[in-house]
Each structure stands twice: as C-alpha cells, then as structure tokens.
Amino acid sequence: MTAPQPDPSQSEGSGQERDPRTPQEPSPVAGLAADYAAKAGLHRTHDGRVDVLRSAGGVQGIAESIMPGLVFLVTFTITQELTLSLIAALAAAAVFTVVRLIQRRPLTQALAGVVGVGISAWLANTTGKAEDFYLLGFFTNAGYILAMAVSVFIKWPVAGLLFGFIRNEGLDWRKEPDRLRAYQLGTWIIVAVLALRLIVQVPLYLMGQDGLAALATTRLLMGAPLYILGVWIAWLVTRPAPAVDPASEGPAAKA
C-alpha cells in the first residue's frame, strides 16, 4: 500500500511545513531596488562582481561621453570659431545616435548625450562664451552630490541600492548596522569624486577662455576614468566580511 500523498491545497496553518527548497518570491521592495540598479546602468560580471567598464557604458558609451567635448575643444582651438565648434560637437553626438540606430541598440544614452550637448551648445551660443559649453555639467554634478548626500542622511545610501543588487543582498543590508555604515561610506566616496570635479574645474571655468583648454582636458580625465575608479574603490570598501565556516575554527572554538 502506498503512503498517502499530502494534499497540496492545505494551508501552512494546517501544520504542513513549507519545503525549504521552494524558492521564495522576492519582496516588492527588493524588486524595486533591483529595478533601480538596472535602470541606473549598473551591471555585474558572470562571477557576481560589479562590471565597472560596462556600467560606465562600455567603450562605446565612454566614447559617446568624451568625443563631443573633445571635438569642441579641438575645433575651437584650431578655428577660434564658437559657432562652428558647437556645430561640430553636436554633429559628433548625432553620429553616435546614428551608430546606435544601425546597431539596433537602445538609444537612451545617445539621445541623452545629444540633448546634453544641445543644451550646452545653446548656453555657449547664447552667452558667446566658449567656457559655458561646460556649464551644464557643473549643475548636473551638483545635483548628483545633493541626491547622494541626502540618501546617506536618510539611511538609504545610493551605493547600497546599487551594490546590494549586484551582491544579491536586496535590501537586507539595511537591517545590519555594519553593512549600512559600509554603504554610507561607499556613497561618500562617490560623492568625493563628484566634489573633486567641481573643486578642480570651477576655478578653471572662472578663468574664462584662458582656462578653457585646461578645463576641457580635466573634464575628459575626470569624467569616465575617475568615475570608474571611484565606483571600484566604493565597491571594494563595501565588501561584506567573509563568512566564517564553523568547521574550520577547530576544537578550541567549540570548547
């Protein structure tokens, strides 16, 4: 005689225990955190580490962020013609959009770049000052600094929302004071990178056209390369402590 099979319709309250092997559905809040990280463009490698290069947009994404400003600088340095230089920068940004269309890749990053370059070109053309091509970046940078600082003070640090997804921690790190502090520190590291940009570049901007070449150069060097370095350091600083295997502690630990 075969053993009676359990009725799958029985509720947990009837005494039937849930099979621990049954996968649990992620909480809605953890799902939101994962969605936020994905929309923020953060990616992970096959072995669970943060893919910093891909998160920065990959080689093509970095080129999209660098080339319009570089084209503007080179063109203006050679011709001293502001309008021509702005048109060249806009054309460079538009080329990347066309490339993405041909590749059938998402246009979000390229279109955002075109809009950003367009606003920057409008500002410079309106004021007649070449250095104002870089003015929008200061406000964007300051906005990120403010948002990240607020996230630390309200105990929802941005580094935790992003890295927690990568590490499959969801939002559990908020329940552990040590992990929360680590992610607050990681967020401050990214804030420091953004603040360093302003500290170095704003004085160059205030020098007017005399500081244009230095401003453009530091803008390139302190853009994607510095961002990648900052994210990588924040990732290392926020690593969780390795789990201790009780079996490896030896007999002395069990005494």
Q: CA nearest 85: which of 63, 107, 68?
A: 68
Phi, psi of 44 (to 5 degrees): -125, 155
Query: For residue 61, how many other CB atoms are within 10 A of its CB?
Result: 19
119-152 residue pLDDT tens: 999 999 999 999 999 999 999 999 999 999 999 9
Amino acid at 247: A
Q: Which of 13-17, 28-32, 217-221, 232-236 has the lowest mean pLDDT?
A: 13-17
Residue 193 has pLDDT above 60, yes or no: yes
- As a whole number, the mean pLDDT across the chain is 77
Between CA 8 and CA 215 the distance in angstroms is 68
Tell me how far apart the terminal alpha carbons of the chain are, to the nearest angstrom: 49
CB within 8 Å of 157: residues ≥ 6 apart: 148, 151, 180, 183, 184, 186, 187
**What mean pLDDT is predicted for residues 230-248?**
76
